[in-house]
Structure 1
Amino acid sequence: MNEIRIDNLTGKQVIIATNRRARPIDNRNRQEEHISSELQYNHSECPFCKGNESETPYEIFKVGDENWSVRVVKNKYPTVIEDGDTIKGYHYVVIETPKHNIKLYQYKAEKWRDIFVAYKDVADKCFSDKDIKYLQIFKNYGREGGASLEHPHSQIVALNFTPQSKVLDDNYCKVCEEVESELLAVKRIILDRGNYIVYAPYGSSLQYQLRIAYKHHKGSFEETFSEYGIDELSRLFEDVFKIIYESLGDIPLNICYYIYKDSNCYHHLYIDILPRGSFFAGFEMSTEVYINVISPEEAANKFRESTAYVHVNKVEL
């Protein structure tokens, strides 16, 4: 049965059209081939590899010393610049590891912790600028995910304005509303662990989309990325990406973190993981209505098959 849904947090309209997946598209094989071949780069040429530190712009943060774990440098081709006129901000690259060929599903909790520590330090630096209003952290993984270099990295863009699609509602927290709804429904939850739930959103615009949210309202980035918060999220991320790999393979994807400067009572940090097993065509581009051929309920069931990693706690109603 086809139906239209709306993503409560983004307002995107989505048509769940499971009948369309019978179309003859060789999706996964093409994407896995791109990940393994199109982004190859010799270590001697890669500016992010250990030993080539002088090939990157100015370094603003590092975990470790000569044997570094994570480095943060200015983006050589920034989206925004510090001394812009109408638009200004900062654009950084987070080099996540000195290892050129490590895959996302191979990251351990310790690696995620180092990355999150780097995110927090850079966010603090950016938000010390009174003009910065919004910070977008994102990771492009694989060619279809938008990665131009194979070496594992993510990016941080700080803006002096809030993107229109991210303007907060003045009356209530949409994330709290969605989390409560998903906890009641249960059927789209993949992990219910500690302070977090991982779920396939009711209005998923992409196949196998996952969303991570704090179960209780937390408005500030500092609270979520406290020392304990970083440790908890790091352990969760290790398991989430093992689940994705076990379920879908080493697919291209995006990870998006949405972070506001002020501890607004209606801001609630959440994270989207967007596997790129599908693509947008003329209908989506012309109508801004997305087509998803895998229902979120089906997606959740597939992820739950990775029983070595998944445990859904009993939800108290």
Structure 2
Amino acid sequence: MNEIRIDNLTGKQVIIATNRRARPIDNRNEQEEQVNSKLQYNHGDCPFCKGNEAETPCEILKIGDENWSVRVVKNKYPTVTEDGDTIKGYHYVVIETPEHNKKLYQYQAKKWRNIFVAYKDAAEKCFSDKDMKYLQIFKNYGREGGASLEHPHSQIIALNFTPQSKLLQDKYCKVCEEVESELLAVERIILDRGNYIVYAPYGSTLQYQLRIACKHHRGSFEEILCDDGIDELSKLFEEVFNIIYKSLGDIPLNICYYIYKDSNCCQHFYVDILPRGSFFAGFEMSTEVYINVISPEEAANKFRNSTAYVQVNKVEL
């Protein structure tokens, strides 16, 4: 039966409509498009490839020397600039690897560790500017995920204002509430590892959406990206993206990190991983109500088939 749900963290409404999977979809050109698709640059022209370092704007930091692992540079086409008038900030590109064709599922924990160290150092630089109020780290993977360049990279944008959708309107932590609820329900949990759980959110707006959240209340980048925290996240991310690849293949997606400047009773670190196997159409754009044809419970079962996770009985209160 179809039902309406709400994502507890974003307030977005979603209709779980599994019956719509049976509708006809014209995909006759899908394979041809995948084979022939080319993004803006090939290896020789790619400004992010090793040997083309002079093609990128000012380098903010680098992990490694000549044989670098990760570079952070200013975005050549920034959304915001540090010398802006009413709106200002910083827009950085994190070049995650010198290897042009490296895939997410090929990243090992060591690679993730270097990426998280780069995120931490860049966040410190941004927040050293006292005017910065909000920082967003995100990755667009694949053309359908919004990536304009094929070479693996992510982005960091710091702003001197807080986006309207991120203004705190509650006096309690919604992430703590959701984590507690998911641990009790069990049925949507995919991984339970140390300080983190990975689950398909009850109100998933996209098919096979995953959310990674701390079990305990932590929000600031200094708490999350300490040495031990980076090590734990790195191992977890290697495992998560292996599961996604085994379950869905090398699918386009977005990764959105929600991490904060300071500790706060209502700010709690979490990550949304948003596979882009589906698309938004007129109904979603006109109503801001999303349609998901794969229930989160079904998504969790699919992911769990690729893990050693064993579902325990639901806890009764």
TM-score higher than 0.5: yes
Q: Is the 8 A contact 2:134 2:162 kept in 1?
A: yes
Gaps of 5+ in 1: none
Q: Is the 8 A contact 2:90 2:159 kept in 1?
A: yes
Q: CA RMSD in A?
A: 1.9
The CA distance in 1 between the partners of 2:251 and 2:168, in whole Å, is 32
Q: Is the 8 A contact 1:31 1:252 kept in 2?
A: no
Change in Cα spacing, 1:27 to 1:161, as seen in structure 2 (3 Å) is farther
Structure 1 SS opposite 2:264? coil
Deviation of residue 32 (structure 1)? 9.6
Match of 1:133 in 2: 133
The CA distance in 2 between the partners of 1:57 and 1:184, in whole Å, is 49
Equivalent residues in 2 for 1:74-93, closer than 5 Å: 74-93=74-93
Deviations, residues 219-269 of structure 1 (Å, cap 9, x unaligned): 322111110000000000001000000000111000000122222121001
Deviations, residues 71-115 of structure 1 (Å, cap 9, x unaligned): 000000000111111111000000000000011100000000000
Deviations, residues 33-73 of structure 1 (Å, cap 9, x unaligned): 53873227332210000000000000001100000000000
Structure 1 SS opposite 2:259? strand
Match of 1:268 in 2: 268
Change in Cα spacing, 1:242 to 1:220, as seen in structure 2 (3 Å) is same
The CA distance in 1 between the partners of 2:9 and 2:247, in whole Å, is 26
Change in Cα spacing, 1:178 to 1:229, as seen in structure 2 (3 Å) is same
Equivalent residues in 2 for 1:75-224, closer than 5 Å: 75-224=75-224
Q: Percent identity?
A: 84
Deviation of residue 311 (structure 1)? 2.4
Stretch deviating more after TM superposition (91-100 or 37-46): 37-46
The CA distance in 2 between the partners of 1:4 and 1:104, in whole Å, is 33
Q: Which amino acid aligns with 2:215?
A: K
Structure 1 SS opposite 2:72? strand
Change in Cα spacing, 1:169 to 1:285, as seen in structure 2 (3 Å) is same
Q: Is the 8 A contact 2:243 2:303 kept in 1?
A: yes
The CA distance in 1 between the partners of 2:33 and 2:202, in whole Å, is 31
The CA distance in 2 between the partners of 1:243 and 1:29, in whole Å, is 28
Structure 2 SS opposite 1:229? helix
Stretch deviating more after TM superposition (234-243 or 24-33): 24-33
Change in Cα spacing, 1:293 to 1:316, as seen in structure 2 (3 Å) is closer
Structure 2 SS opposite 1:235? helix
Number of residue pairs aligned between Structure 1 and Structure 2: 315
Q: Is the 8 A contact 2:185 2:314 kept in 1?
A: no
Q: Which amino acid aligns with 1:254?
A: N
Q: What TM-score, normalized to structure 2?
A: 0.95
The CA distance in 2 between the partners of 1:218 and 1:299, in whole Å, is 27
Stretch deviating more after TM superposition (37-46 or 205-214): 37-46
Match of 2:2 in 1: 2
Change in Cα spacing, 1:126 to 1:312, as seen in structure 2 (3 Å) is farther
Match of 1:241 in 2: 241
Structure 2 SS opposite 1:219? coil
Q: What TM-score, normalized to structure 1?
A: 0.95
Q: Is the 8 A contact 1:197 1:213 kept in 2?
A: yes
Q: Which amino acid aligns with 1:222?
A: E
Match of 1:294 in 2: 294
Gaps of 5+ in 2: none
